[in-house]
A and B are shown apart, each in its own frame.
Chain A
Amino acid sequence: MLSVLKNRFEQGYRTNRYPEEKVKVFPRYRGRPVIQDNISEETLKTCAESCPQDAIDVQNQKIDIGRCVFCGTCENISNGQIKFTNDYEIATAERADLITSGDLPALAEHAKQHFKKLFGRSLQLRQVSAAGCNACEADLNVLATPFFDLARFGINFVASPRHADGIVVTGPISRNMKTALLQTYEATPTPKVVIAVGSCTISGGPFIGSPEITEGLDKILPVDLFIPGCPPHPMTNLHALLSFFK
C-alpha cells in the first residue's frame, strides 16, 4: 500500500490543460506544411518528383495533406521553402480543404452545428481498424491515458457500434475488411458521424495503387471529419474532436 501511495505521489498530476493552454511539441515535429509564395517552379517540380506520395501539385502550388505522410522530403530539398510547421491542428471537415498551400479553414466554424448540439456533451465512438500499420490505433489509444484524458470531455471509445454515435476509421480499408467496416457502420444507430483518421483512410496512404485496398473512405461512406497524418499526432486527434463537437 505504501508503495502505491509513494508512486502516486511521484507521478503527480499529468493531465494537460489543452485547449486553454497549447501543448508544445518537440521542434522536429512535422505538422501543417506551408509552401512559400516565392518558391520557384523548378524547386517545386523537384519536390514533386521526389515526393514518395506524389502529393504535390506543381501547377496550383498545393500539397495534399490527405495523401502526404509528413516525411519531410520536400522540406529538405527545398531548403525550407516548403516548411513543416509545429502546428498540429490540421483536421478538416471537407476532403478538398486538405489540398492546401498552408492555410486551413478553422475547423470549429466548419463543424456541423447540429452535431455539436447532438454530440457536444457526450460522444461515444466505435473505432474500426481497417488494415493500417497500427500506428493510428496506437495514437488514438493514448487519448485514454492521463496526459490526454479524453473522457473528461465526455468522449469515449466503446466496444459496440450499437452503443456508439459514430465510427472512427483507420487504415486503407482492405478488401478483406470492407464488409466488416460496412456492417459496423450499419449497426451504428443514426444520426451518426464518420471520422477518417490517417492518410491511409483518407487516400490509401503509403499503399496507394495496391489493388487490395480502398483509396479513400469517402468513396464508400459519407465522411464528416478528416484527420490527416501518418499517424496524426494525438493532439491532432484531440483538437479535431474538441473543435468539431464541443
Chain B
Amino acid sequence: MSNAFLQISNAEKISREAIPHLSFDQFQSQALDMVTNGGKIVHYFAYPDKESLKLLAVLRTDKLFVAGCDVPDVYPSLTKTCEPFHLFEREIAEQFGIRPQGHPWLKMVRYHPNYTEGAADVFGNDYSQDIPGNYPYYQVAGEEIHEVAVGPVHAGVIEPGHFRFNCIGERVLHLEIQLGYQHRGIEKQLLAVPAKRLPIIGENIAGDTTIGHSLCMAQNLEALTGVQTDQGARVIRTIALELERLANHIGDLGALSGDVAFLPPANYFGRIRGDFLNLSLLICGNRFGKGLVRPGGVRFSLSDDIRKVLNERLAELRPEVTHVLELLFNAVTVRARFEGCGAVSHEDADHLGLVGPAGRASGMAYDVRRCFPTEHYPYMGIPENKKATGDVYARARVRYDEILQSLQIVESLAAIPVETRCVSEGMTYDLPASSFSVALNEAWRGEVSHAVLTDENGKILRYKIKDPSFHNWNGLAMSLRDTGISDFPLNNKSFNLSYCGFDL
C-alpha cells in the first residue's frame, strides 16, 4: 500500500519528528483509504502541542502505521463515510472541543469538560450541573413502541452504565448504551502524577485486566527509556496474562451457564475461577495480579516452591475444568439457548472493528499474540481461533477453546525453571524528549493498547489508553437488534465488556 503513514513496530520508541506530519486533507484521505480497505484503527486521538492541537492515528493492517496532522477547530467528519471512526471522533470532540462536521451521531462519551482551556463545549453542557442522563436518547416512534431503561445502578454487583432499549413488544429494535459513569479522569491524571504512581494507576484502569493494562504501560516505558527486561520476567508476565485470561473466561462461562438456569456449571466455574485468581495471588500476592508488572520486569520471581504449588494446582484443576466444560457444552438445553442468539454478522463485526473473543466469534481472526507478539509470545504458536456464526454459542465456544489453549500455555511455561532479576523499587523514569511509543497486547477481552507522547522536556504530553471494550460495546448493541429483550443478560455476559476500562 503506497501510503504516507510510517510503518512502526509494537512497543518501539520513535522520535516524534519521524512521525509523518501530513496536511489535514492528506491525513484524512490516507486514513480513510486504509480503513476502507480493511485496515483497523488502533488509536485516533488529539493532543496539544505548544499553541496548536494535533491529531495522531495509529492504524493496523498486518503491520502498524502512524501519522499525524494539525487539526482545525472544525473538520468534516470521517464517520459520515466510514463508521469505524465514529466513537474516536466523539472522543476527540469531547476531550478537545473539536467538532467533526456532519457526524451522524455526535454525543458525549464520558461527560466531562474538555481539556483545552477556554474551548467551548461541543455539546453545550454546563459541567457544574449534573450531566449524566441529561441527554436526548435515541428514540423510535410508533404506536406499540416502548422504552426500557436500566441503570446506572444495575441489579447485580456490577459496574454502572445506562442502557436504553427501544422495543416493540418483547422485540428489541435498538439498544443505546450510555457509559461514562465511571469516569475518573485517568488519562489527564497520568500527565501530572509522579513516576512512582504511574504503575499503580496503570494496574487500576480495569482490575480484571490488570496484567493487560500494566503490560502496555510497562512496555511503553521500557521502549522509551531503553530498559531491557530479562527472559524470566517475560515468561512470568506471559503466565500472568494467561492466568488472567483463564480466570475471566471461566468466570464468564459460569455466568452464561447461570443465565440459562443450568446451575451446576455456574457454581463449579464460579469456584474454579477463584482457584485461578488464587494462582495469581500465589505468584504476586494479589488475586488480580496487582503489584506484579513494573517497567523493567516483574517484582516477584517464580521460585521453585511457588512453581511446585503452581504445577500441582494446575494438575488438579485441568480435569475439573475439562469436565465442567463438557458438562456445559454437551447439554442440549444450553446449546438450544446459545445457538442463534444475538448473532453479529462478520460484516458488522468488521465495520465496527470488533476485537478479541467477540471479534473472533464473528470470524475476525485477529489476535495480538499472533499478529504483533510481545513478551514470550514470539516463541509460541497461538492457533487461529475464529468461529463463523457470531452468536452467543460462538462467543462461548471461543472462550472454551482459549481456556484449553491458555491452560496448555501456562502448564508448559510453568514446567521450565526460569530465573529473573526482580525490578528494584523506587525506579525513576527519565523519559526521552519528543518521543512516541505505542504498545498492544491481547488481554482477555482483546486488543488493549496504550500510546505515550513526550514533550521536548521528556514530560508525558499525552497518555492514551484504549481498552478492547472501546471497540466492542457497539457490538453488544448490534447483537441485541431484533432479539427478545429477555436475551439481553445472556448476550451481555457473552461479551462481558468493561465499563471502567471504557470510562477511564
Interface residue ranges, A against B (CB under 8 Å): 3-4, 6-8, 10-11, 14, 25-26, 28-30, 46, 49-53, 69-73, 76-77, 84, 127-142, 144-147, 157, 159-160, 171-172, 174-177, 179-180, 184, 205-207, 209-213, 230-231, 233-234
User: A145 — which chain B residues lie within 8 A by C-beta?
Assistant: 267, 270-271, 273-274
Report which of B157, B197, B278 forms a contact with A206, defined as CB distance below 8 A. B197
The answer to whether B453 has its CB under 8 Å from any CB of chain A is no
- Min CB–CB distance B229 → chain A (angstroms): 18
What are 28 A-B residue pairs whose CB atoms fall within 8 Å in the complex? A4-B327, A11-B320, A29-B286, A30-B291, A46-B426, A69-B290, A71-B291, A72-B299, A84-B285, A128-B153, A129-B157, A131-B160, A133-B208, A133-B210, A133-B500, A134-B208, A135-B287, A137-B159, A142-B273, A145-B267, A145-B273, A172-B184, A174-B184, A174-B503, A176-B181, A177-B181, A211-B185, A213-B185
Report which of B110, B281, B319, B323 forms a contact with A28, defined as CB distance below 8 A. B281
The answer to whether B326 has its CB under 8 Å from any CB of chain A is yes
The answer to whether B300 has its CB under 8 Å from any CB of chain A is yes
Q: Which residue of B lies closest to A159 (CB)?
A: B155
Q: Which residue of A lies closest to B499 (CB)?
A: A134
Report which of B207, B299, B319 forms a contact with A231, defined as CB distance below 8 A. B207
Q: Contacts A176-B180, A207-B186 given: A133-B204 contact, CB under 8 Å? A: yes
| Bound Cα distance A77, B282 (Å) | 21
Q: Do B206 and A129 touch across chains, with their CB atoms under 8 A apart?
A: no
Report which of B155, B158, B323 forms a contact with A10, defined as CB distance below 8 A. B323
Give the one of B188, B265, B268, B425 with max A CB within 10 A. B425
User: A211 — which chain B residues lie within 8 A by C-beta?
Assistant: 185
The answer to whether B284 has its CB under 8 Å from any CB of chain A is yes
| Bound Cα distance A142, B277 (Å) | 11
Q: Do B287 and A233 touch across chains, with their CB atoms under 8 A apart?
A: yes
Q: Do A210 and B499 touch across chains, with their CB atoms under 8 A apart?
A: no
Q: How many A-B residue pairs have CB under 8 A?
A: 208
Report which of B192, B210, B323 forms a contact with A6, defined as CB distance below 8 A. B323
The answer to whether B112 has its CB under 8 Å from any CB of chain A is yes
User: B131 — which chain A residues lie within 8 A by C-beta?
Assistant: 176
Q: Do B204 and A205 touch across chains, with their CB atoms under 8 A apart?
A: yes
| Bound Cα distance A174, B201 (Å) | 15
Report which of A4, A8, A28, A213 forms a contact with B282, defined as CB distance below 8 A. A28
| Bound Cα distance A201, B181 (Å) | 15
- Min CB–CB distance A187 → chain B (angstroms): 10
User: A46 — which chain B residues lie within 8 A by C-beta?
Assistant: 426
The answer to whether B488 has its CB under 8 Å from any CB of chain A is no
| Bound Cα distance A210, B499 (Å) | 18
With A128-B153, A131-B503 known, 7 other A-B pairs at CB within 8 A are A10-B320, A46-B426, A70-B286, A133-B500, A145-B270, A175-B112, A180-B153
Give the one of B159, B180, B285 with max A CB within 10 A. B285
Q: Do A53 and B152 touch across chains, with their CB atoms under 8 A apart?
A: no
Chain B positions 149-182 with a Cβ under 8 Å from a chain A Cβ:
152-153, 155-160, 180-182
User: A131 — which chain B residues lie within 8 A by C-beta?
Assistant: 160, 181-184, 500, 503
Chain B positions 129-151 with a Cβ under 8 Å from a chain A Cβ:
130-132
| Bound Cα distance A6, B265 (Å) | 12
User: B110 — which chain A residues lie within 8 A by C-beta?
Assistant: 176
| Bound Cα distance A8, B293 (Å) | 38
